[in-house]
Structures are given as structure tokens and as C-alpha cells.
């Protein structure tokens, strides 16, 4: 059985590593990107099973990445969980409008995040 691929997108290296470790322990294949442009290219090339996406990114913000993927027939099936420090209602609304499946604010509980990931991947 092949491993589920998860694309982690955040410009904070520490956070990426904080997420990568428990995901790999759970048996996921983790892909990493540190800016929106690279994330979009990787998502299109690798077709991950799920994306953890920050909003405030260099080159392309998370909203644009999400919109470009969710409004494309080839990638709209990929669950996108936004992980962000933006906590205002207008930001959450924008996340929903761009097609995000979840809007999770930082700081978050890693255990809760893992439960959500597994639920989306039916694990």
C-alpha cells in the first residue's frame, strides 16, 4: 500500500519541521514547500493527498494557492487545511471563499490536527 502524501507549506522552517516529524511517524510521506509559488508547482506535480497551507507566504499567498488549486478540476479534490496566525472573521471567510476545507489558527494542538488529517484521509 502506498503512503499518503502530505504537502506542508509554511515559510517558517521550525513549524515545517514541527509538523514533519509527527506526520512521518504516522507513516505519511511529507513534501515541503517554503513559498506559495513552489507550493503550487509541487501540488500540481506531486498531486498530494492533503495540503497543510499557511496564508502569509512569499511569492504567492495561501489564499491564491488555494484558489488556483480548488478551482482546477484536476486538483479540487485535494483537502486543504489552512494553518494561519490570522484569526479575524474576515480572514476565515476569505479562507472559505477560496475553497479551504479547514481554517485552523496558530497556535494549534498537534493531536487535534492529526485527528483532522486522518479524518480527511479516512485513516
Cell of 27: 507513516
φ, ψ at 2 (rounded to 5°): -80, 150
Average pLDDT, the chain: 93
Give me the residue spans of the domains in the chain.
5-120
Q: pTM for this one?
A: 0.95
Distance (Å, whole) CA 29 – CA 46: 11
Tell me the CATH number for domain 5-120: 3.40.50.2300
Predicted confidence at residue 122, as pLDDT, reads 87
* Residue range 65-108, pLDDT digits in tens: 999 999 999 999 999 999 988 888 898 888 888 999 999 998 89
Half-sphere exposure of 45 (CA within 13 A, CB side): 10
* Cis before 113? omega within 30: no
DSSP per-residue string spanning the chain: -PPPEEEEE-S-HHHHHHHHHHHHHTTPEEEEESSHHHHHHHHHHH--SEEEE-SS-SSS-HHHHHHHHHTSTTTTTS-EEEEES--SHHHHHHHHHTT-SEEEESS--HHHHHHHHHHHTT-
Distances in whole angstroms, Cα of residue 4 to Cα of each of 30, 31, 90, 123: 8, 11, 32, 10
Find the distance separating the first CA and the last CA of the chain, reported in whole Å.
13
Amino acid at each position: 500500500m502506498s503512503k499518503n502524501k502530505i504537502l506542508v507549506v509554511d515559510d517558517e522552517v521550525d513549524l515545517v519541521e514541527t509538523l514533519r516529524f509527527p506526520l512521518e511517524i504516522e507513516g505519511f510521506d511529507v513534501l515541503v514547500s517554503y513559498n506559495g509559488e513552489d507550493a503550487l508547482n509541487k501540488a500540481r506535480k506531486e498531486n498530494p493527498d492533503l495540503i497543510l497551507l499557511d496564508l502569509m507566504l512569499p511569492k504567492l499567498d495561501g489564499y491564491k494557492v488555494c484558489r488556483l488549486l480548488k478551482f482546477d478540476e484536476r486538483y479540487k479534490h485535494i483537502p486543504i487545511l489552512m494553518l494561519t496566525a490570522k484569526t479575524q472573521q474576515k480572514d476565515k471567510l476569505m479562507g472559505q471563499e477560496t475553497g479551504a476545507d479547514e481554517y485552523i489558527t496558530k497556535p494549534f494542538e498537534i493531536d487535534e490536527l492529526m485527528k483532522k488529517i486522518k479524518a480527511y484521509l479516512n485513516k
